[in-house]
Amino acid sequence: MSLKAELKALVDELDLLHNGNPWPKEVGMPDFVTAENGRQRFFARKTREELRKFSTTLHQNRPQNSLKIELERFEQIVRQAVADMHAEGAFCEFDESDPKDVLPTLKLLIDDRLAGISNEHTHYFPGWTLGMERGAPFSIGPVTFLNKNDWINSVDFPSQGKDHYLNQSEANYRWKEILKNALRKPNDDSPLEGLAGTVYGAISQCPALVKVTIRGYELKFSRKLARLVCKTALDAISLGFGAPECFQQQALQDERLPPVGSDSIVETNGFLWLPGSTLGNRIPSLPLERVSRALGDMANILAAFSAILEALTEPSNHRHPNLANRWATALDWFGEGNRESNDAIALAKLATCLDVLCCGGKYVGIRDMVVHLTGTGSDTQVIRGIRPRTLGQLIKDIYDQGRSQILHGTHYDRLESFATERQHAAYVARIVLIECALRLLSYSGPDEDKAFRTI
């Protein structure tokens, strides 16, 4: 069906609803839009189906350099434009063969409204870090970590907002001062006036804010990408440090994280023991001096990570945006594997990290990729002890005996231990991720999915 035919089907449905026909029997409140001229246009189930078809075709055929916007938000703009023109009678006697085609007019109206949307947004995400931003802002690629004081000093509200918000202009112009005082007294429950009270609730729970600027995206889509980039930045630094607990100590506020600690209560022979308490891995233990020294020691690795983060925000400026995105997706699986409390599920996630880097290939493909990247032969013994393993055997354990059998239900006993396999998988995946990032920095080959096997 042509685009014009899809528009005709949509207009016909709107005409049926607004030419005296009764509202169809549907569950829920009527779905309507108020047009620019004040009239309402209703969208029944069938109307919404035709709207989705028309919007999808428009969305899929937009120019490559257009504003990046998700289909759902794009459909809202199309719906409003269609409602405005329908309420004005622009579609009267509209026909697919009519030389006075209104389709270009509608497309121009949609484009004008898209052009009016701001396409540059700077996002801030409260989060936890290892503390590298305590003394001054710390940057990796396009991402910057700030402590709360530095963030407060770097931002402000427009004068119009400070003049009118909650009718508390005096407090609004002093919002930075009020907020800083409140942050110094976290146990003081006194209500905060004006803008300071609103901002306090957003930033008080985390010690840092993670910042990134996204260009060329609509606001909601921009935030989605910004969150992925900031999460990748935190996980990349944790990858560099290497300790699994870093992935729990560095995270965005909205991450699914384990508790800071837990309590245990036990009864034996009819009597209680005293309750026990255990701290988890959420609390950072490294002093700032060691964090700073470690970051300095991994400068070459951070440069490789920075280039990948730049590719996520500005893919047109990177030679291999697809490989950078693939690497970041693999890192996401690696980070989730390290945050996972269940060893079997963690093993499956860590093996999936290798699977994403390899772009399939199963055991043999992953084995060959690891052999290539590490320079270690498949028959080389890499684990000693009571169950020695060659590199090839280890990869087979991780992928075939681990990931595949766990996900396919062969392993279902939740008391079966996978702690050792998890450690081995995390060790191999970390080496491979870092090596791929370093080689990608100087790679000049094609940007194809299986490149990490031979990079």
Q: Per residue in 98-129, pLDDT tens?
A: 656 799 999 999 999 999 999 999 999 999 99
Specify the pLDDT at position 280. 87
Rounded to the nearest integer, the mean pLDDT of the chain is 93
Specify the pLDDT at position 99. 56
Specify the pLDDT at position 144. 98
Specify the pLDDT at position 413. 82
Specify the pLDDT at position 76. 97
Both structure tokens of 318: 């990177």
Specify the pLDDT at position 16. 87
How confident is residue 430, by pLDDT bands cut at 50, 70 and 90? very high
* pLDDT at residue 404 is higher than 60: yes
Specify the pLDDT at position 95. 72
* pLDDT at residue 382 is higher than 80: yes
* pLDDT at residue 62 is higher than 90: yes
Q: What is the mean pLDDT of the segment spanning 2-9?
A: 92
Q: What is the mean pLDDT of the segment spanning 372-398?
A: 93
Q: Give the residue, 284 or 242, on which the prediction is more confident.
A: 242
List pLDDT tens digits, range 339-362.
999 999 999 999 999 999 999 888
Specify the pLDDT at position 249. 96
What Å distances lie between residue 395 and 211, 222, 263, CA to CA?
38, 38, 37
* pLDDT at residue 284 is higher than 90: no
Using a pLDDT cut of 90, give the percent of the chain over it. 82
List pLDDT tens digits, range 140-172.
999 999 999 999 999 999 999 999 999 999 999
Specify the pLDDT at position 100. 62
Q: What is the mean pLDDT of the segment spanning 228-255?
A: 96
* pLDDT at residue 410 is higher than 80: yes
How confident is residue 402, by pLDDT bands cut at 50, 70 and 90? confident
Q: What is the mean pLDDT of the segment spanning 15-31?
A: 75
Give the separation between CA 220 and CA 398, rounded to whole angstroms: 38
Lowest mean pLDDT among 30-34, 108-112, 209-213: 30-34
Q: Which residues contact 227 (CB under 8 A, 6 or more apart)?
A: 123, 125, 252
Q: Give domain limits for the chain.
A: 3-115, 119-286, 319-455
Q: Give the residue, 38 or 30, on which the prediction is more confident.
A: 38
Q: What is the mean pLDDT of the segment spanning 170-195?
A: 94
* pLDDT at residue 207 is higher than 60: yes
* pLDDT at residue 134 is higher than 90: yes
Both structure tokens of 78: 């199309």
How confident is residue 96, by pLDDT bands cut at 50, 70 and 90? low
Q: Give the residue, 179 or 2, on which the prediction is more confident.
A: 179
Place of tokens 């060329």: 216
Specify the pLDDT at position 97. 65
* pLDDT at residue 242 is higher than 70: yes
How confident is residue 328, by pLDDT bands cut at 50, 70 and 90? very high
Specify the pLDDT at position 443. 96
